[in-house]
Copies of this chain bind each other. A is one copy, B any other.
Amino acid sequence: MKMENPTPIQWQFSQRAQKLESSVIREILKVTVRPEVISFAGGLPSPATFPVERMRAAFDSVLSREGKVALQYGPSDGYAPLREWIANSLSADGAKIVPEQVLMVSGSQQGLDLLAKVLIDEGSKVLVETPSYLGALQAFSVYQPEFVSVPTDEHGLLPDQVADIGQGARLLYALPNFQNPTGRTLPVERRVALVETCARLGLPLIEDDPYGALSYRGEPLPKMIGMNPNGVIYMGSFSKVLTPGIRLGYVVAPLPLVRKLEQAKQAADLHTAQLTQMVVHEVVKDGFLAEHIPTIRKLYADQCAAMQAALTEYFPSSVTWTKPEGGMFIWVTLPKHIDSMKLLDEAIAQNVAFVPGAPFYANAPQQNTLRLSFVTVPPEKIREGIAKLGKLIAAKI
Which residues of chain A have a CB within 8 Å of any CB of chain B? 1-3, 6-17, 20-23, 26, 44, 47, 50, 52-53, 55-56, 59-60, 63-64, 67-74, 76, 94-95, 105-107, 109-110, 113, 117-121, 124, 135, 138-139, 141-143, 170, 188, 192, 195-196, 199-200, 202-204, 222, 226-228, 230-231, 239, 243-247, 254, 256-257, 260, 262-264, 266-276
Contacts and interface: CB of A to CB of B under 8 A. Distances in A.
Given A17-B260, A26-B266, A268-B109, A50 B68 contact: yes
A223 to B, nearest CB: 10
A105 to B, nearest CB: 8
A266 B94 contact: no
A112 to B, nearest CB: 8
Contact of A50 (B21, B72, B95): B72
Given A60-B56, A63-B52, A76-B26, A245 B274 contact: yes
18 contacts: A3-B199, A7-B199, A8-B230, A10-B202, A11-B257, A16-B117, A17-B263, A22-B263, A23-B266, A26-B76, A47-B68, A47-B71, A55-B67, A106-B273, A109-B269, A139-B267, A142-B264, A247-B272
A268 B139 contact: yes
Contacts of A117: 14, 16-17, 142
A107 B13 contact: no
Contacts of A239: 73
* 9 nearest CB pairs, A to B: A52-B67, A71-B243, A17-B118, A56-B63, A6-B199, A47-B68, A110-B269, A71-B245, A245-B274
A242 B94 CA distance: 43
A8 B208 CA distance: 21
A139 B73 CA distance: 18
A260 B13 contact: yes
A228 B264 contact: no
Contacts of A69: 47
Contacts of A276: 273, 276
A203 B96 CA distance: 52
Among A13, A71, A202, the most chain B Cβ lie within 10 Å of the Cβ of A71
A138 B245 contact: no
A355 B275 CA distance: 27
A254 B203 CA distance: 42
B121 A14 contact: yes
Contacts of A226: 1-2
B50 A2 contact: no
A70 B246 CA distance: 8
A191 to B, nearest CB: 8
Given A3-B228, A20-B263, 9 more contacts: A2-B94, A6-B196, A9-B254, A17-B118, A47-B69, A73-B244, A106-B247, A109-B268, A142-B264
Nearest to A269: B110
Contacts of A107: 269-270
Given A76-B26, A256-B11, A269-B247, A17 B227 contact: no
A109 B270 contact: yes
